Copies of this chain bind each other. A is one copy, B any other.
C-alpha cells in the first residue's frame, strides 16, 4: 500500500470524526471558518507529494507558527534562548498563568503561549523589521511566496487577547520581556495568523525532517543538531497538555494549532500536515489526531 492509498483510507476512516469536537471560537475570525473541512498532505524527502481532501485550502496556523519562530530565534541567539525559558512539558493548559507565576516568569517551553511571547520578544528585539523577516523566512521554508499574514485574524485575536496580555505583563514584571508589550503582542498575533494549506505546511516542515542536509532558508541557518533538538521539543511539548497522548498514539514529533492544523515529522523520511477545525477539550484537532495515529499504524512507521 503506498502513501496515496493510505491517505485515501485515512480520509475515509476519519470522515465520521469530522463532526466531533468544537471549533475554536475565542478568536471571532476563526469561528467563521467552515468547520467541516478536512485535508491531509504528505511530502517525502525524496520529493514525492501526496494529498487528499481539502489539502489545498489555506487555514490559520496559529500555534504551529511557533515552530518557525523558535527556529528563527535559535538562529539568532543559539542556546541563549534557554536562559529565558525551559524545554520541559508544562503539564498545564497552554495559556495558564499559574506555572508562570510559580516559576518566576520563566516559561516552561517555547510552545506554550508564555514561551512563544518571549520568543516574539527576542525576534522583535533583534530584527529591524521582524514581521518582514519572519514571513520571508516562512515563505522560503514553504517554497511559496504567496504565504502571508491574515491581518483580520490578528486584529480579531488582539481584541480578545486578555489572557495573552496578562501573560505578557507577568513576563514583564519578571523582567523576561524586554520590549514594549503592545509591540511584542502585535508581532505574536501576526505570527500566529499566517495561513497555509496542508500542502504548503508539509513543505514548510520538511526541512525539520532532514537534519543531514544544511538548514538554510532565506539566510536562516541551523545545525543538524539544532534541527534534531527542535524535533525533541516538538515531541515533548508540541501538543499542549496532550503531548504524552500524541506521543503514545502517533509517535512523531509535531505541533498543533487551534485552527485545527497539525504538522508532524518522520525524521529522514517525510513531513505531514493535516487540518480539520473541530478540536478536542485539549485544543487539538479530533480528526487530525486520529488521522496521524492511523498514518503511523498503517505505515508501521514511527520514531519508536
Which residues of A are at the interface with B, using a C-beta cutoff of 8 A?
A: 86-92, 96-99, 101-102, 108-109, 162-163, 165-167, 169-170, 172-173, 211, 224-225, 228-229, 231-233, 235-237, 241-245, 247-249, 251, 253, 267, 297, 300, 302-304
As for how many copies of this chain the complex holds, the number is 4
Q: Which of chain B's residues has its CB closest to A282's CB?
A: B88
Contacts of A241 in B (CB 8 A): 88
**A228 engages B302 (CB within 8 Å):** yes
**B162 engages A173 (CB within 8 Å):** yes
- Given known A-B contacts A303-B303, A304-B211, A243 and B88 have beta carbons under 8 A apart: yes
Q: Which of chain B's residues has its CB closest to A162's CB?
A: B173
Contacts of A303 in B (CB 8 A): 267, 303-304
8 Å CB contact of A248 from B169, B232, B243, B302: B232
Contacts of A173 in B (CB 8 A): 162-163, 166
Excluding A97-B101, A236-B247, 8 further A-B contacts by CB distance (< 8 Å) are A88-B245, A89-B89, A165-B165, A228-B251, A231-B251, A235-B247, A267-B304, A303-B304
Contacts of A245 in B (CB 8 A): 87-88
**A92 engages B89 (CB within 8 Å):** no
Once the chains are docked, how many angstroms separate the CA of A92 from the CA of B108?
Answer: 12
Contacts of A97 in B (CB 8 A): 97-98, 101, 166, 170
**A102 engages B98 (CB within 8 Å):** yes
**B101 engages A96 (CB within 8 Å):** yes
Once the chains are docked, how many angstroms separate the CA of A230 from the CA of B167?
Answer: 33
- Given known A-B contacts A166-B166, A244-B236, A89 and B87 have beta carbons under 8 A apart: no
